[in-house]
Structure 1
Amino acid sequence: MKILKYLLFLILIVVIGGAIYFGTKDGSFDVAESKMINAPAEVVYNNVKDYKNWQEWGPWAKLDPNTKVTYAEKTEGEGAAYSWSSDHMQVGKGAMETVKVIPNKEIDQKITFNTPIGDSKSDVYWRFDTSETPGITKVTWGMKGEQSFMEKVFMAFQKDDMETGISKMFQEGLTNLEAVVTEEMKKFTVNVDGITTYNGGYYMFNTTASKLNEVGEKMGSMLGQISGYMEENNLTMAGMPFTIYNQIDEANGTVIFSACIPVAEKIITPQGSPVLCGAMEPVTALKTTLKGNYDNLPQAYAKAKEYMATNNLIAHPTAKMFEVYSTDPGLVPNPADWVTEIYMPIVTEGAPN
Structure 2
Amino acid sequence: MKFLKLLLFLVLIVLIAGTLYFATQDGSYQIESTREINAPKEVVYDIVNEYKTWEEWGPWKKEDPTMVFNYAEKTSGEGASYTWQGEMDGGMNTTQAIPHSHIEQRMTLDTPGGERNPEVYWDFKSTENPVTKVTWGITGDHTLMDKVYYAFSGMDFNGDMKKMFEKGLDGLEEAARKEINKYSINIDGITQYSGGFYLSRTTSAKAQAVAQIMSQNYGGIKEFMKENNIVASGMPFTIYNETFENGDVIMTNAVPVREKIVVAGANNVLSGYTPTVTAVKATMKGNYTNLGEAWTKVMQQIKDKGYTLADEKPFEVYVTDPQNNPNPADWITEIYVPIKDLE
TM class, shorter-length: over 0.9
In the TM superposition, what is the alpha-carbon distance from 1:253 to its structure 2 partner?
3.4
Equivalence for 2:288: 294
Equivalence for 1:84: 84
In the TM superposition, what is the alpha-carbon distance from 1:160 to its structure 2 partner?
3.6
Q: Is the 8 A contact 2:198 2:254 kept in 1?
A: yes
1:243-271 per-residue CA deviation (whole Å, 9 max, x = no partner) reads 01011122x43211011111111111113
Q: Does 1:303 align with 2:294?
A: no
1:43–1:9 distance in 2 versus 1, CA, 3 Å: same
Q: Does 1:49 align with 2:44?
A: no
In the TM superposition, what is the alpha-carbon distance from 1:159 to its structure 2 partner?
4.0
Q: Does 1:108 align with 2:101?
A: no
Distance between the aligned counterparts of 2:132 and 2:342, measured in 1?
Answer: 52
Q: Is the 8 A contact 2:136 2:165 kept in 1?
A: yes
Distance between the aligned counterparts of 1:302 and 1:320, measured in 2?
Answer: 16
Distance between the aligned counterparts of 2:142 and 2:104, measured in 1?
Answer: 19
Q: Is the 8 A contact 2:50 2:76 kept in 1?
A: yes
Distance between the aligned counterparts of 1:116 and 1:287, measured in 2?
Answer: 63
Q: Secondary structure at the match of 2:61?
A: coil
Distance between the aligned counterparts of 1:302 and 1:253, measured in 2?
Answer: 13
Name the Cα RMSD after superposition.
Answer: 1.3
1:17-61 per-residue CA deviation (whole Å, 9 max, x = no partner) reads 210111001001111100000001101001100111101111102
Equivalence for 1:312: 306
Q: Secondary structure at the match of 1:54?
A: helix
Q: Does 1:98 align with 2:56?
A: no
What is the TM-score when the length of structure 1 is the normalising length? Answer: 0.94
1:116-135 per-residue CA deviation (whole Å, 9 max, x = no partner) reads 2111111110000111x110
Name structure 1 gaps, 5 residues minimum. Answer: none
Q: Does 1:348 align with 2:338?
A: no
Q: Is the 8 A contact 2:55 2:69 kept in 1?
A: no
Equivalence for 1:190: 185
Q: Does 1:277 align with 2:284?
A: no
Q: Does 1:249 align with 2:244?
A: yes
1:305-339 per-residue CA deviation (whole Å, 9 max, x = no partner) reads 221121111122x2100000011111111111111
Q: Does 1:164 align with 2:151?
A: no
Q: 2:131 aligns with which of 136, 156, 169?
A: 136
List structure 1 runs of 4+ shifted beyond 4 angstroms: none
Equivalence for 1:38: 38
Q: 2:314 aligns with which of 310, 321, 335?
A: 321
Q: Does 1:200 align with 2:178?
A: no
In the TM superposition, what is the alpha-carbon distance from 1:3 to its structure 2 partner?
3.3
Count, aligned residues: 343
1:239–1:272 distance in 2 versus 1, CA, 3 Å: same
Q: Does 1:181 align with 2:180?
A: no
Q: Is the 8 A contact 2:180 2:328 kept in 1?
A: yes
In the TM superposition, what is the alpha-carbon distance from 1:64 to its structure 2 partner?
2.1
Distance between the aligned counterparts of 2:294 and 2:92, measured in 1?
Answer: 43
Q: Does 1:10 align with 2:3?
A: no
Distance between the aligned counterparts of 1:179 and 1:158, measured in 2?
Answer: 34
